[in-house]
Amino acid sequence: MRNKIVAANWKMNLNLAEGKQLVEGILAGLPALEVHKHVVIASSFVHIAQTAAQLAGKSNIHTGAQNCSTETSGAYTGEVSAAMLKDAGVSYVIIGHSERREYFNETNAMLAKKVNQALANGLHILFCCGEALEVRDAGTQNAHVEQQIKEGIFHLSAEQMKDITIAYEPIWAIGTGRTATSAQAQEIHAHIRSVVAAQYGADVANNVPILYGGSCKPSNAAELFACPDVDGGLIGGASLKADEFLGIIEAMKNI
């Protein structure tokens, strides 16, 4: 049975006191989860030590980061290495988020290097893919996402794929209030799984979690997560409020 995951992406939000309070609220309401169901809190770098301390010893809830460097160490001012993240208590790292691709010009080749750094340091990866509105309107979203996946992670072995979770982001639905319908989400999630199967075989593909990441809320999470190839969500705005995030976790608990 493949893992089910709900991951919070705080982006560049919250001061330390607010972050501490949010995690406290999540922990206070966190339901008991089966062994294959997980929650990830991906805060900004300045929160990581605090969040890791709050989550220490807790079951099925993990500290995450939103990015890591392509490099191991050295004269890279402002960068944070995967080794530093691991040492700070991070278990998961988001790689290839649409905002990193768009605002910081991260290419698939760069992301492949980040994937290698994360895996070399024992981190689980939330690898993001997805299309902008013009790609969706042109009907070429499948080919677009397929290229991102092939160039970003298909250099890995089947064994390494055990540490990969794919997060599909319809960029046109992030922060816009628009959401892909459950049918649209299932269609492209199924395509992503078929692409992984073509490269690695059905056994690997059937064990790779694929998350939905586009304006997922308590009101639509259950419907989205009921899709057979949707294994949870990468949550942005709704992860900044404990009650909303807990509502999404509850939807994941029930799938």
Note the pLDDT tens digit of each residue in 94-104. Answer: 999 999 999 99
Q: What is the pTM (predicted TM-score) of this model?
A: 0.97
Q: Is 102 a catalytic residue?
A: no
Query: Which 3 state secondary structure label does DSSP give 194?
Result: helix
Mean pLDDT estimate for the chain: 96
So what's the pLDDT on residue 151?
98
So what's the pLDDT on residue 65?
98
- Asked if residue 10 belongs to a known ligand binding site, the reply is yes
133 or 64: which carries more pLDDT confidence? 64
Select from 193, 167, 232 the least CA-distant residue to 5.
Answer: 232
Select from 152, 238, 242 the least CA-distant residue to 199.
Answer: 152
- Asked if residue 69 belongs to a known ligand binding site, the reply is no
Taking only the tens place, the pLDDT of each residue in 219-231 is: 999 999 999 999 9
So what's the pLDDT on residue 173?
78
Report yes or no: 167 and 7 within 8 Å, Cβ to Cβ. Answer: yes
Q: What CA–CA distance (Å, rounded) separates 194 from 57?
A: 37
Q: Which two tokens stand for residue 26?
A: 């999540």
Cβ-based burial of 191 (10 A; exposed 0-12, middle 13-18, buried ≥19) = middle
Q: Which of 47, 62, 97, 124 is catalytic?
A: 97
Q: Which of 99, 106, 131, 169 is catalytic?
A: 169
So what's the pLDDT on residue 177?
67
Q: What CA–CA distance (Å, rounded) separates 139 from 144?
A: 10
Q: Which two tokens stand for residue 147?
A: 């290229």
Q: Is 134 a catalytic residue?
A: no
- Asked if residue 233 belongs to a known ligand binding site, the reply is no
- Asked if residue 9 belongs to a known ligand binding site, the reply is yes
- Asked if residue 175 belongs to a known ligand binding site, the reply is yes
- Asked if residue 91 belongs to a known ligand binding site, the reply is no
- Asked if residue 11 belongs to a known ligand binding site, the reply is yes
Select from 212, 236, 217, 219 the least CA-distant residue to 5.
Answer: 212
Cβ–Cβ contacts within 10 Å for residue 46, how many?
11
Domains of the chain by start residue, with CATH: 4-253 (3.20.20.70)
So what's the pLDDT on residue 175?
66
